[in-house]
Chain A
Amino acid sequence: MDFLNALVALLNFVVIPATAYGAQLALGALAATLVYGVLRFSNFALGDTMAFGAAVVILFTWWFQSMGISFGPVPTAILALPFGIAAMSAVALLTDRTVYRYYRRVKAKPVIVVIASMGVMFIMAGITRMIIGVQEIQFADGQKFLIDPTAFRTATGLNEGLALRMTQAITVVTAGLVVWALFWFLNRTRTGKSMRAYSDNEDLALLSGINPERVVAITWIIASGLAVIAGTLYGLDKSYKAFNYFALLLPIFAAAVVGGLGNPLGAIAGGFLIAFSEIGLTYAWKKVASYILPESLMPDGLMQLLSTEYKFSVSFAILIIVLLFKPTGIFKGKAV
């Protein structure tokens, strides 16, 4: 019984939140890695693209709610997602046309493009805060729990309740579907293959008649789609605050670098690695330990290795370790 209690506590406080968070990071890291693979720069505006996209989704959600449209137990925001994706794809294409294309033409150094993406970040951050404000917004509606902790407790007779929130389930399901669709696209369709070819070897791809502008445009559409989904799921799961998304840059980049920049599979693995390490190291293990350790062996403290304020240092530490010992990432990425 104690063992079951420990297992439920572990699931409840570590495994489920980390899986949801990992899925969000993985989607963000996929966006980072795709842009890196095709356009060859680290997009610092990614965090604010996520914030902007989520803001658009929230606006549509409110509009739908005001018209009385809902999606049953599923949050209305999921209905609004396609609109957010469409809007952000348009923004990304416009940004590419006005900002990034020029640097591609003059073959600017990647670092110059990174600085340009800083400018884009400034503008996007400003616009996002202008249209939605800086306050915290809860926009998750529909059913709250898929597994209700009190119901679980009464049904099983355990001390620990297992909570699976709707937003967490939606996150994992959506992320799974998106990743499946992305890999199908990259591996099975002609356009996807041309994207991978362009990412692997630009010159060879150009030589075989692949239209670079088309590849770039599709990359932007996919990357902003991923960013909007990641941003919305993160906002649904945690609550939306425009400022929080900038801080997501570090874990997202860390995930992309750990998995190997430019490698989609690595980005997913990296996202989950970062999420599980972050939550595992900042979780107070006392509760789990109290079920499995005998009384005499219980330490006094909370058994928390790091306070939660330092969760970003976990992604940073992982990033540094990988950079020091395996700079191309766990799954070979490109180190140009």
Chain B
Amino acid sequence: MTNARNRTLILFALMGLLLLLEGTVHWQVHPLNADAAGYTILSGSWNVVLEIVLMCLLSAIMALGVNLQWGYAGLFSTGIVGFVALGGLAGVLVSLPPVTAVWNAAGVGRLVVALLTGLGVVGLAVFAYGHLKGRARTWGVTAILVGGFFLYRAIFDPAVAYIEANDPAAAGNIGGLGLPALVAWPAGALMAAAAAWAIGKTALGLRSDYLAIATLGIGEIIVAVMKNEDWLDRGVKNATQIPRPWPVPTEVSLQESQRFLDFCANWGLNPVNASTIAVQLLYALLFTAVLLLILWACELALNSPWGRMMRAIRDNETASGAMGKDVTKRHLQVFILGAAICGMAGAMLVTRDGQLVPSSYTPLRFTFTIWLMVIVGGSGNNWGSVLGAFLIWYLWNKVFDWGSAAMWSATQYMDPASGLKTALTGSAEQMRTIVMGVILLVVLRFAPKGLLPEK
């Protein structure tokens, strides 16, 4: 017990040391024939550190969600990117101001009717499926779905055309509810939870590979919808100017505040740099608070009878089923919880970025990297997930720099015009992918329990 605690402390301290080095040591290499600026090994900039730490914190929250699904319950889901993206969508739909020009009967009104019709059709189909039998059921359900689809499109399409025709360069969407950004966070969790309920209802209870394939699909579809439905979130035109969460001011307003200027003058700080760092710090504090809250809740759940039951189900489904535990229901529950946490992190991410960029949601970045964090940290151990998130995100950032520096150094005596040199020096982005893959394979093989094994 103390051993495990010491290990946790030491590893977290080492992680802190890495970040401290990044913040204090400025180290660049200057290969021959390279750009004059040289290549950064360590940036020595607290701004960079804070930038990394903010994403570490958000990744840690996502990793806690995945750990809930995988570490506690053994569910293998590859649709994390979808839940994170849905959370981001919540940021848009909740906290952007409404585009009032289309909030009328022809626009949003009609849209709501269309969506309700769609829901009604699905509900009717489910009802018919439950109450009809044999051939009548097959044909009845098919007829309802096909007819319903055309009805839905007949109501939906004109509404979309109307909304998207409204000032396409600046708007073309419905906007949001204009609520504070903090409200978007739980809303993101709710939206992801709803999606997880729908997918869990269908795919859970089947074998593990099917869940992986089905969730891979749902992730891609959610992102595809967000890329193409301009009325919803402006699609690839990106929804911008998402407001910041409550205590975080803008840099400009800080620089205009007399108290802040006095404070900077007292401490001899440059107000411009100080305002950036102050904003980042405030974000970091907010995110840390949320992370600690979720971590605390997860730890509580893990050590409760519920947590013991989940692990029992994970380790032996048949035996737990025989003990009277409803395995499918518990799986659904934990799947929804995990997805909700990922959705919340997604909403937090867009309220920090200030914009929603649907094309940035790639499975590589938001599904497989999060998986890597959980596995490297130690499946089933919440502190492990946090540590994994910090370490992997730090590496994700640094491997790119180190890769560039290494490639330039390795090729410095080559002819600058040679194709091989161009190919090698341009491959830092790919190095990152390869290094992540190697880390995953090495950990999985030689330390399958991760850095901080489950107790």
A112 CA to B441 CA, complexed, in Å:
11
Q: How far is the CB of B54 from the nearest CB of chain A, in Å?
A: 24
B interface residues, how many (CB within 8 angstroms)? 45
The answer on a CB contact under 8 Å between A122 and B212 is: no
The answer on a CB contact under 8 Å between B441 and A120 is: yes
Which residues 201-249 of B have a CB within 8 angstroms of A?
202-203, 206-210, 212-214, 216-218, 220-221, 224-225, 227-228
In the complex, the number of residue pairs spanning A and B with C-beta atoms less than 8 Å apart equals 135
Asked if A129 is at the interface (CB within 8 A of a chain B CB), the reply is yes
A201 CA to B387 CA, complexed, in Å:
43
Complex contacts, A41 vs chain B, CB 8 Å: 209
Task: Give a binary string over B147-182; 1 marks a CB under 8 Å from any A CB, 0 the rest.
Answer: 001000000010000000000000000000000000
The answer on a CB contact under 8 Å between B430 and A110 is: no
The answer on a CB contact under 8 Å between A319 and B209 is: no
Asked if A21 is at the interface (CB within 8 A of a chain B CB), the reply is no
Scoring A119, A123, A249 by chain B CB atoms within 10 A of each residue's CB, the highest score goes to: A119
The answer on a CB contact under 8 Å between A323 and B206 is: yes
Q: How far is the CB of A164 from the nearest CB of chain B, in Å?
A: 31
Given the interface pairs A118-B371, A122-B437, A250-B217, the reply to whether A336 lies near B444 with Cβ below 8 Å is no
Asked if B375 is at the interface (CB within 8 A of a chain A CB), the reply is yes
Scoring A129, A247, A307, A316 by chain B CB atoms within 10 A of each residue's CB, the highest score goes to: A316
Complex contacts, A119 vs chain B, CB 8 Å: 437-438, 440-441, 444
Complex contacts, A327 vs chain B, CB 8 Å: 206, 210
Given the interface pairs A253-B213, A319-B213, the reply to whether A122 lies near B220 with Cβ below 8 Å is no
Asked if A125 is at the interface (CB within 8 A of a chain B CB), the reply is yes
A255 CA to B217 CA, complexed, in Å:
13
Complex contacts, B423 vs chain A, CB 8 Å: 130-131, 133
The answer on a CB contact under 8 Å between A320 and B228 is: no
Asked if A115 is at the interface (CB within 8 A of a chain B CB), the reply is yes
The answer on a CB contact under 8 Å between A310 and B440 is: no
Complex contacts, A183 vs chain B, CB 8 Å: none
Complex contacts, B12 vs chain A, CB 8 Å: none
The residue from A122, A254, A307 contacting B213, defined by CB atoms under 8 A apart: A254
The answer on a CB contact under 8 Å between B209 and A247 is: no
Asked if A71 is at the interface (CB within 8 A of a chain B CB), the reply is no
Asked if B133 is at the interface (CB within 8 A of a chain A CB), the reply is no
The answer on a CB contact under 8 Å between B371 and A115 is: yes
The residue from B228, B427, B434 contacting A309, defined by CB atoms under 8 A apart: B228
The answer on a CB contact under 8 Å between B209 and A310 is: no
Known contacts A111-B212, A125-B433, A133-B423; 6 further A-B pairs (Cβ under 8 A): A110-B209, A116-B440, A126-B431, A127-B434, A246-B364, A319-B217
Q: Give A contacts to B, CB under 8 Å.
A: 36, 41-42, 44, 99, 102, 109-112, 114-116, 118-127, 129-131, 133, 246-247, 249-250, 253-254, 257, 261, 301, 305, 307, 309-310, 312-313, 315-316, 319-320, 323-324, 327, 335-336
User: Top 5 nearest A-B pairs by Cβ distance?
Assistant: A122-B437, A126-B434, A126-B433, A316-B217, A119-B440
Between-chain CB contacts (< 8 Å), 11 pairs: A42-B213, A44-B212, A99-B441, A114-B208, A122-B436, A125-B437, A127-B430, A301-B157, A309-B227, A313-B221, A324-B202
